[in-house]
Amino acid sequence: MSKPKVAFFDFACCEGCQLQVANIGEPLIDLLDIVQVVEFREVMSEKWDGEFDVSFIEGSITDEHAVERIKKIRERSKILVALGSCATIGGVNGMKNSFPLEEVGKYVYGESYKFFPTLQTKAVHQVVPVDYFINGCPIYQPEFITVLKCILQGIPYYVPEYPVCVECKLNENVCMYDRGLTCMGPVTKAGCNSWCINNGNICYGCRGLTINPNTEGFKEVLKKYNIPEDFLIKKIEMYNKCKELD
Amino acid sequence: MKIEQYKLLEKSLLKDFINSLIPIANVYAPVSKGFNNYVFQNIKSADEVSIKYIPTIIPPKKFFLPKKENILQFFIEDELKVEPVTEYENLIIFGVHTCDIAGIKCLNMVLSDKPKDTAYLIRKKHVTIIGIECNDYCDEYASCSFVGAHMPTTGYDLMFTELSEYFIVHIHSSKGMDIIEKTDIFKDASIAQLEELKILRNNKMKIFNNEIPTERRYLPDLFDRSFNANVWKELEQKCLSCGNCTAVCPTCYCFDIKEEVDLTLKAGERYRVWFSCQLDPFAKVAGGHDFRKERSARQRHRFYRKFRYHIDRYGMVFCTGCGRCSRTCMAKINLKEVLTSLIRESEAKIWRKWL
């Protein structure tokens, strides 16, 4: 049996999630035993003009060209995976949606903005159907491997429907609030094994809000720590702005 | 109190004793993580240990029911091969408080009930528990006196109690005796120290007062009256469903079962991981139906699991009074306050009936 053909594509993003894949280390050798990478601009110059078994999409969709391109990739792909926050939830690119498009265009391109038509930022699933989601900014390498194994087995991958606190507590980290810091762990989707907090950083909420978050309750918690409410709103909007378009 | 079951250790020799354990087995003891947080951690020297500590982030249940535990290995080459797995190591946990010993006793009860959890029971045999008695409260969150977990009773191999000049050590098992006999730093106890221990325990009765305005024996009645209490509705707004309260609870044992294959896609393992009734997917079933969609219902469930259901089944309260759930709760849901509010609400209802 020939190995499944895998490709990586980037849209509006920093390409950091693809870098995480390229930088996965030792497991890469075993990974290449079970898949054939046919297109991956960041690490190779070869292209593929046939069908893809699995396409990984990094980045969000921000203009008409991107819409056309992602639709074509979708048509050529049996399975399409959103890779990283920009692709899964719009990510930081979503902050653009807080402003009128004209204002955004002028800010970046000055008066020639009319030559660069732009759209509201969308996550990949808001344009074409997506089969698997790998959250994170950047993605968490062990989760990437887990999802890839699910894809190759033909089974679904369920992103944990609970907050980062669950994993963080099991890792016995000192709570960031005990250290006097504000952390997005309580309202952010888990699956990263509280990667940032394990390494002494706060959670920025890069994986997006967990399902059914108690944002009102969280505001009350922040009040107790004298943290202003709009601080939370800004933190949420940093990654979750595109949710409004769902 | 049989005098031959007691030994004495000079206070200055405690570190020597801990160091004497390290060659015997993997030793885990409370280690400070800063910000008044402690963790039971593998130690290489007694210098790492915090003898005085408030309950650790996660209780010692992690040694009995690992957070992630492989239970099965499978190989899918030509035919399916399946092998059960039991993971265990010889370990000594030093410095366990009586609340956490009470927690282990609760786990023992449930996991030796049918169907027996063989892996748990095997692992348990390889664990030696060395306790340290609390002569005073750790902090304001504890309610160990209410549940009767503030005094050493059973469930340990050795128990250290600090007296004015010595640690007096209660030997409670042959495993404990073996450890004592490995070193020559212990002295025999005399009547005077046993007297001092008695006085200390009597004094503790004055220091540790029932923290909840009711008694344990009234709990079944209280909870039978409180299923629709407003207290639960208030928790709906507060609770963030982060699952911290159950993760840190010494008597929560719910788990989920998962499987993962390796990169050959031909072998893998089935494992269990801790799970929590406070989390969204916990009571979700096929078709997307959720038996406990509201946070209030989940919190209520937690309290009934501690103070009602297990009384019927095991005749035990499944709270050890360690205070971890209240200490860790971001939303400041406090177990003592919730119980007190329940009592107040229930009393008000009874009075209304009478008047």
For residue A185, what is the nearest residue in chain B, using CA coordinates? B242
Interface test with B, best of A141, A158, A162, A202 (most B CBs within 10 A): A162
Expressed as residue numbers, the domain containing B344 is 216-354
In residues, how long is chain B? 355
Position B64 pLDDT exceeds 90: yes
CA distances to A83, A87, A193, B204, B295 from A136, rounded to whole Å, are: 8, 10, 11, 52, 27
| Closest chain A C-alpha to B72 CA, distance in angstroms | 18
ipTM of the complex: 0.92
- Of B236, B206, B222, B213, the residue nearest B297 (C-alpha): B236
B350 and B264 within one domain = yes
Range list for CATH 3.40.50.700 in chain A: 5-153
Give the C-alpha separation, A160 to A150, whole Å.
15
Looking at the structure, do residues B45 and B153 belong to the same domain, yes or no?
A: yes
Q: Which of residues 209-248 of B touch A (CB under 8 A)?
A: 237-244, 247-248
Which among A244, A203, A3 has a CA at the least distance from the CA of B265?
A3
* Alpha helices, H only, A5-138: 16-22, 27-34, 64-76, 85-89, 101-109
- The Cα–Cα gap between A121 and A86 comes to 9
pLDDT at B169: 98
Q: Are B344 and B226 in contact (CB under 8 A)?
A: no
B136 and B252 in a single domain? The answer is: no
Please give the Cα distance from A75 to B27 (Å, whole number): 58
Q: How confident is residue B182, by pLDDT bands cut at 50, 70 and 90? A: very high
Q: A186–B260: do the CB atoms touch at under 8 Å?
A: no
Q: Is B127 left (phi over 0), alpha (psi -120 to 50) or beta?
A: beta
Inter-chain Cβ pairs, chain A and chain B, closer than 8 A: 105
What are residue A55's DSSP bridge partners?
A7, A80
Q: Where would I find the beta strands (DSSP E) of chain B?
A: 6-10, 26-34, 37-42, 68-76, 80-84, 91-96, 127-132, 158-162, 166-171, 187-188, 255-261, 267-274
The enclosing H or E element of A132 equals strand A132-134
* Distance of alpha carbon B133 from alpha carbon B138, whole angstroms: 11
Determine contact, residues B310/B318, Cβ cutoff 8 Å. yes
Residues B103 and B241 reside in one and the same domain: no
User: A52-58 and A77-83: which strand pairing?
Assistant: parallel
* pLDDT at site B273: 96
Find the closest chain B residue to A180 by CA distance: B35
Task: Tell me which residue of A176, A149, A216, A165 sits closest to A4, measured CA to CA.
Answer: A149
- Average pLDDT (B6-29) is 97
- B64 and B195 co-located in one domain: yes
Mean pLDDT (whole number) for B274-285: 94
Asked if the model's pLDDT at residue B354 lies above 80, the reply is no
How many domains is chain B partitioned into structurally? 2
Q: Which among B211, B212, B277, B220 is positioned nearest to B244, based on CA atoms?
A: B277
CA-based angle B155:B156:B159, to the nearest 5?
A: 130
| Residues B105 and B225 grouped into a single domain | no
Neighboring chain B residues of A172 at a CB cutoff of 8 Å: 33, 39, 56-58
Among the candidates B162, B188, B207, a domain finishes at B207
CB–CB contact A170 B247 (8 Å): yes
Q: What is the domain class of A5-153 according to CATH? A: alpha beta
Nearest to B60 by CA among B122, B124, B117: B124
Summarize the confidence of residues B21-34 as an average pLDDT. Answer: 97
The shortest CB-CB distance from A166 to any of B238, B247, B260 is to: B247
d(CA B328, CA B334): 10
Buried b (16+ CB within 10 A) or exposed e, B69-105: bbbeeeeeeeeeeeeeeeebeebbbbbbbbbbbbbbb
Written as one letter, the residue type at B128 is T
Residue B93 CA neighbour count, 13 Å, CB half: 28
Summarize pLDDT for B195-217 with one digit per residue, the tens: 999 999 999 999 999 999 999 99
- Spell out which residues of chain A touch residue B242, defining contact as CB-CB under 8 Å: 162-163, 165-166, 169, 185-186
Q: What is the pLDDT of residue A94?
A: 96
pLDDT at B355 over 80: no
Chosen domain end from B207, B234, B266 = B207
Distance from the Cα of A191 to chain B's closest Cα (Å) equals: 14
Is residue B225 domain-shared with residue B193, that is, in the same domain? no
User: Are B221 and B272 members of one domain?
Assistant: yes
On whether both B135 and B193 belong to a single domain, the answer is yes
Question: B177 with B286, same domain?
Answer: no
Q: Which residues pair with A136 in a beta bridge?
A: A139
Amino acid A238 reads: M
Q: Say if residue B3's pLDDT is above 90.
A: no
Structure tokens at A150: 């699910």
Q: In this complex, which of A33, A172, A214 lies closest to B57 when CB atoms are compared?
A: A172
Give B110 to chain A, closest Cα distance, Å: 22
Q: What pLDDT digit, counting tens, does each position of B114-172 carry?
A: 999 999 999 999 999 999 999 999 999 999 999 999 999 999 999 999 999 999 999 99
Residue B280 half-sphere exposure toward CB, CA atoms < 13 A:
15
Strand-pair partners of B270: B72, B259
Residue B220 shares a structural domain with residue B202: no
B172's tokens? 């409670």
List the pLDDT tens digit at each of the 246 positions of chain A.
689 999 999 999 999 999 999 999 999 999 999 999 999 999 999 999 999 999 999 999 999 999 999 999 999 999 999 999 999 999 999 999 999 999 999 999 999 999 999 999 999 999 999 999 999 999 999 999 999 999 999 999 999 999 999 999 999 999 999 999 999 999 999 999 999 999 999 999 999 999 888 888 988 888 888 888 888 889 999 999 999 998
Is residue A122 within 8 A of residue A57, CB to CB? The reply is no
Predicted pLDDT at B1: 76
